[in-house]
Structure 1
Amino acid sequence: MLNERLSAAKKIASELHQAEDAIDETMIRIAQLAATLPTARRDINMSAIVGQEAMAKVANALAAAGEVRQLLTDAHIALTATQKQVGLGTRMFGAGVKPPEASLVEAGEDRGMAEVAHFPLAKAS
């Protein structure tokens, strides 16, 4: 049973991290586009009115991507709680900056769960 839970958790973590990376990449690309539009308008000496509707749409797209990112981070936190509920120990952190209170195995927990330590379900964002 533990192996099945670990396998499912690893798959979920992998998919979650891929989704987080994808939305970050999307936000970067939208932000680059948002910077390029007014730069191009200025470089060709066009009126501020030219392309304004497109610039507003791109700005809205970036804001919407930010909302998607927030939903993913909310899901990440919920999955961290779920991880503990299904008996896979406390939060595990992957690469990145770790909060000071992060620990792989809480004091007093079953040390058999230490094998999960290599598995970053709750990757630091």
Structure 2
Amino acid sequence: MLNERVSAAKKIASDLHQAEDAIDEAMIRIARLAATLPTARRETNMSAIVGQEAMAKVAHALAAAGEVRQLLTDAHLALTATQKEVGLGTRMFGAGVKPASARLVDEGSNDRQRADAPTFAKAG
């Protein structure tokens, strides 16, 4: 039974980290686009009005991606609690290292330390 839980936890950790990496990559690409649009407008000597709606949509997309990232980190924290509940304690899955600042006080909050928080380390 323990082997099945460990195997499931490894798969969850791997998929979680792939999802986290994917949203980070999406945010990077959206941020590049957000920088390219006004640069292109300025380089082509266009009015500030040109492309404003598109720039606003891209800015909104970046903010929405940030919200998705927050939801994934909240899910990550919820999974650390689940990990403990199913008897896997503070096992590490992968080679990742978490800074002390990643340990939280309140579930769903990324801004306070909680020394007793177990972590799913990044799967390699």
TM-score by length of 2: 0.78
CA-based RMSD of the aligned residues comes to: 2.1
Contact 2:30 2:61 in 1 (8 A): yes
Contact 2:96 2:121 in 1 (8 A): no
Partner of 1:38: 38
Consecutive aligned runs of 4 or more in structure 1 exceeding 3 Å deviation: 91-94
Q: Which runs of 5 or more residues in structure 2 are unaligned?
A: 104-118
Partner of 1:99: 100
1:95–1:59 Cα change, 3 Å: same
Contact 1:80 1:91 in 2 (8 A): no
Contact 1:80 1:121 in 2 (8 A): yes
Partner of 1:121: 120
Q: Which runs of 5 or more residues in structure 1 are unaligned?
A: 103-119
CA distance in 2, matches of 1:79, 1:101: 14
TM-score by length of 1: 0.78
Partner of 2:114: none
Q: Which stretch has the larger CA shift, 36-45 or 85-94?
A: 85-94
Q: Considering only CA atoms, is the larger Rg found in Structure 1 or Structure 2?
A: 1
Give the 3-state SS of the residue equivalent to 2:69 in structure 1. Answer: helix
- Indicate the percent of aligned positions where both proteins have the same amino acid: 81
1:23–1:69 Cα change, 3 Å: same
